[in-house]
């Protein structure tokens, strides 16, 4: 099992950043790589167990299930149910921590998963930079003070 970890500081209060990412169906509004998303079964996007089904801008389809959501901790976790990535047992967590010095946000996003050994470096880079860091960079632009 490998772990990918990315962190960043966002120049906005944690409440403002959380307002953007809390919606489990909201990826198209704050990530540069998701074209469209829907929650299966018309469930609320904040219900533990709900499944989001989304299409990437490159055409790939991914299904993920919400495992945890905490407004108190500014944290959510999810698993990948289906994807073209070639990963198994994928569980990711996105966590925000208020930085009181300057009213900023420390953002962390990490995932653990299994994959073919010859794909570990490629997937670590693609997920860490192409998903997690790309999401943080987009958030920085959207919530800029």
3-state secondary structure of 21: helix
Please tell me the predicted confidence (pLDDT) of residue 116.
Answer: 94
In sequence order, the β-bridge partners of residue 75 are 70, 95
| Domains in the chain with CATH codes | 2-24+68-142 (3.30.530.20)
Residues of the chain with pLDDT under 70: 145
Please tell me the predicted confidence (pLDDT) of residue 144.
Answer: 79
pTM for the full predicted model? 0.94
> Which string of b and e fits 114-130 if b means at least 16 CB within 10 Å?
ebeeeeeeebbeebbee
Helix (H) or strand (E) holding 120: helix 120-127
């Amino acid at each position: 099992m490998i772990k990918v970890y990315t962190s960043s500081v966002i120049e906005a209060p944690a409440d403002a950043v959380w307002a953007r990412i809390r919606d489990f169906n909201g990826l198209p509004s704050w990530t540069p790589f998701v074209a469209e998303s829907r929650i299966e079964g018309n469930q609320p996007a904040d219900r533990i167990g709900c499944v989001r089904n989304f299409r990437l801008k490159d055409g790939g389809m991914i299904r993920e299930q919400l495992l945890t959501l905490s407004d108190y901790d500014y944290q959510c976790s999810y698993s990948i149910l289906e994807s073209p990535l070639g990963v198994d047992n994928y569980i990711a967590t996105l966590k925000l921590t208020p930085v009181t010095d300057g009213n900023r946000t420390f953002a962390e996003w990490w995932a653990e998963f299994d994959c073919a050994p010859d794909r570990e470096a490629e997937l670590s880079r693609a997920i860490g930079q192409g998903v997690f860091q790309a999401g943080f960079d987009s958030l920085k632009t959207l919530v800029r003070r």
